[in-house]
Amino acid sequence: MKLNRTTLRTVDILKMVSKKPDGITLDEICEKLELPKTSAYDIITTLAHTGMVHVVKGQKQRYTIGLTAYRVGINYTNNLDFIGTIDPVLKAFAKEVGKTVFFGVRSDDSIVYICKFEPENPIITTATVGTKNPLYCTSLGKAIMANMEQEERDALADRINFRPHTQRTIQDKTHFIEELDRVRENGYAFDARELEEHMECVGSPVFGPDGNVIGAISVSSLYKPTEDYDALGRLVCEKAKALSRLLGFLGK
């Protein structure tokens, strides 16, 4: 059987990029795969155009896995019934707390909403399945980043372009890292009206069988000054732990 050489090279590049969450340069790709620079450039440019890889601007462009590749992967995951496993749990949780529940994953420096579960009389939320928001001002993003390896977390924080969405948005790396340390200690994160002025969200990480954080769940609702958000955070944390165990995580 004759295999197409360009297709094989494309698959090799995607595999390599997927293993580098902080990105990889064109020179590194060429060196490790022993590819001519012109050939590798044509492939990576096409992958970037189709959304299979994401271009991170800098002194040297770096490439991370793109949203299109992630969506392809999600379709595969769906076939493994990953979403089918968590779907009934989170639907019931949304009904239990009477608030909107999300499951999201990281895509470079953003969070992507994969699932959304609403109670019978939901408060309208702007986030919809498939959309993205910044990691640094979402409870989902903070919950995921707080549970990454420290070196990877700090490198990612260096690349974040902090900008205010509301007056409460964290706007610098120092305060953000301090926030992530609190999140890791508590087990849950807040979006304390940092993305939208009227919305308060609480999120907690979900772990896979290998012990790595694979995503997070959050509960969102209109901000109420009388709400005990720490109590809600503990509730979300317990539900995230239950989901992690359901998905095969055996750790604490």
Tens digits of residue pLDDT in 26-49: 999 999 999 999 999 999 999 999
CATH number for the domain harbouring residue 193? 3.30.450.40
Q: What is the mean pLDDT of the chain?
A: 88
- Predicted pLDDT of residue 122: 67
Residues 91 and 211 in one domain: yes
- Predicted pLDDT of residue 56: 87
Final residue in a domain of this structure, among 48, 69, 90: 69
The verdict on residue 74 lying in a domain is: no
Predicted model pTM:
0.68
- Predicted pLDDT of residue 252: 66
Phi first, then psi: give them for residue 167, nearest 5 degrees.
-70, -15
Residue 123 has pLDDT above 70, yes or no: no
Handedness of CA 50, 51, 56, 57 (dihedral sign): positive
- Predicted pLDDT of residue 126: 65
Centre a 10 Å sphere on the Cβ of residue 186 and count the other Cβ atoms it contains: 15
Q: Where is average pLDDT lowest: 100-104, 188-192, 210-214?
A: 210-214
Which tops the pLDDT comparison, 139 or 153?
Answer: 139
Residue 184 has pLDDT above 90, yes or no: yes
Phi first, then psi: give them for residue 157, nearest 5 degrees.
-60, -35
Phi first, then psi: give them for residue 124, nearest 5 degrees.
-65, 125
Which tops the pLDDT comparison, 124 or 7?
Answer: 7
The verdict on residue 57 lying in a domain is: yes
Residues 10 and 93 in one domain: no
119, containing H or E segment? none
The verdict on residue 251 lying in a domain is: no
Residues 44 and 115 in one domain: no
Reported as a single tens digit per residue, the pLDDT across 49-98 is 999 999 988 778 899 988 888 777 766 655 546 677 888 999 999 999 99
Reported as a single tens digit per residue, the pLDDT across 196-241 is 889 999 999 999 887 889 899 999 988 899 999 999 999 999 999 9
Residues 65 and 94 in one domain: no
CATH number for the domain harbouring residue 62? 1.10.10.10
What is the domain count for the chain?
2
Domain range for 62? 5-69
The verdict on residue 111 lying in a domain is: yes
Reported as a single tens digit per residue, the pLDDT across 7-20 is 989 989 998 888 88
Final residue in a domain of this structure, among 13, 37, 69: 69
The verdict on residue 76 lying in a domain is: no
Residues 51 and 94 in one domain: no
Phi first, then psi: give them for residue 134, nearest 5 degrees.
-65, 145
Residues 55 and 169 in one domain: no
Residues 130 and 229 in one domain: yes
Residues 130 and 242 in one domain: yes
Residues 43 and 111 in one domain: no
Which tops the pLDDT comparison, 82 or 135?
Answer: 135
The verdict on residue 170 lying in a domain is: yes
Final residue in a domain of this structure, among 69, 92, 111: 69
Contact by Cβ (8 Å): 120, 91:
no
- Predicted pLDDT of residue 78: 57
Residues 129 and 53 in one domain: no
Q: What is the mean pLDDT of residues 151-157?
A: 87
The verdict on residue 152 lying in a domain is: yes
Residues 222 and 163 in one domain: yes
Phi first, then psi: give them for residue 189, nearest 5 degrees.
-125, 155
Please name which of 222, 219, 224, 172 lies closest in space to residue 196, comparing C-alpha atoms.
222
The verdict on residue 252 lying in a domain is: no
Residues 203 and 147 in one domain: yes
- Predicted pLDDT of residue 76: 60
